[in-house]
Chains A and B, each alone.
Chain A
Amino acid sequence: GIQVEQSPPDLILQEGANSTLRCNFSDSVNNLQWFHQNPWGQLINLFYIPSGTKQNGRLSATTVATERYSLLYISSSQTTDSGVYFCAVVYQGGSEKLVFGKGTKLTVNP
């Protein structure tokens, strides 16, 4: 099956700093989503981005499908950005099943 690797596994920032999270995948994908799991466990949809670039406020994401990676940018981080960020993909031939990476744990200190 497809492998989804996220880096870094842990990231600690001061409020106001910028960061880049990376997701590498080992096969062609039909779907790629980024999620934020907040400290209460809720999974929040950030982006549906199988290719191209999208922006939503301080967050943006870019997926280069031909090179099999996606990047999530967080600018001017806030303490409410803390939590775990997951990348998940549906690979071609994998029906509609999302395969998750292990996540990047982000801590933003005041």
Chain B
Amino acid sequence: NAGVTQTPKFRVLKTGQSMTLLCAQDMNHEYMYWYRQDPGMGLRLIHYSVGEGTTAKGEVPDGYNVSRLKKQNFLLGLESAAPSQTSVYFCASSYGTLPNEQFFGPGTRLTVL
């Protein structure tokens, strides 16, 4: 099993450009999450999904959109990137039932110039 994978690993954008980050999991998990990590801080939840076709806002959702068209994939979109979105983005997944341990992907390092 590959676990949780993220594409791409690194990306540099100019202000105003758009992009999509892809998260895939092969553990048949119901729940998926997108977090961001800024220097010296823990992770903060952007959006999450409790099942195929559903999404919900987390702690810091502004400037991002998400889609969960397939159970195994969770996409994070930036429509018009801003320098404040420079961060490391982590995807996670979990079964959704107890014990609901979350497992994380390797991260995507995004720089917005």
Binary CB contact string for chain A from 67 to 110 against chain B (1 if under 8 A, 0 otherwise): 00000000000000000001010100001111111110000000
Query: Is A45 among interface residues, defined by CB-CB distance under 8 A?
Result: yes
Check: A43 CB closer than 8 A to any chain B CB: yes
Q: Does B64 contact A (CB under 8 A)?
A: no
| Contact residues in A for B44 (Cβ distance below 8 Å) | 100
B107's contact among A4, A42, A95, by CB below 8 Å, is which? Answer: A42
Q: Which of B31-78 contact A (CB under 8 A)?
A: 31, 33, 35, 40-45, 48, 50, 56, 58-59
Determine whether the beta carbon of A97 is less than 8 Å from that of B59.
yes
The interface residues of chain B lying within 8 Å CB-to-CB of A33 are: 101-102
B102→A98 contact, CB < 8 A: yes
Q: Mark A29-55, 1 if CB is under 8 A from B, else 0.
A: 011010100000111010010000000
Contact-size category for B: 20 to 34
Q: Which residues of B contact A90 (CB under 8 A)?
A: 100
- Shortest Cβ distance from B97 into chain A, in angstroms? 10
Using CB atoms, name the residue of chain A closest to B99: A48
Chain A residues whose CB sits within 8 angstroms of the CB of B94 once the complex forms: 96
Contacts of B92 in A (CB 8 A): 98
For residue A31, give the distance in angstroms from its CB to the closest CB of chain B.
6
Chain A residues with CB under 8 A of B31: 96
Contact B107 A101 (CB under 8 A): no
Within 8 A of A (CB), among B74-113: 88, 90, 92, 94, 96, 98-104, 106-107, 109
Which of chain B's residues has its CB closest to A87's CB? B42
CB–CB A96/B42 < 8 A: no
Chain B residues contacting A41 (CB-CB under 8 Å) are 88, 106-107, 109
Residues of B within 8 A of A30 (CB): 98, 100
Q: State whether A86 and B100 are in contact (beta carbons under 8 Å apart), knowing that A42-B107, A97-B58 are contacts in the complex.
A: no
Distance A35 CA – B56 CA, assembled complex (angstroms): 24
Instruction: Write the residues of chain B forming the contact surface with A, with a CB cutoff of 8 angstroms.
Output: 31, 33, 35, 40-45, 48, 50, 56, 58-59, 88, 90, 92, 94, 96, 98-104, 106-107, 109
**Can you spell out 6 A-B residue pairs with CB atoms less than 8 angstroms apart?**
A30-B98, A41-B88, A43-B107, A45-B104, A86-B42, A102-B42
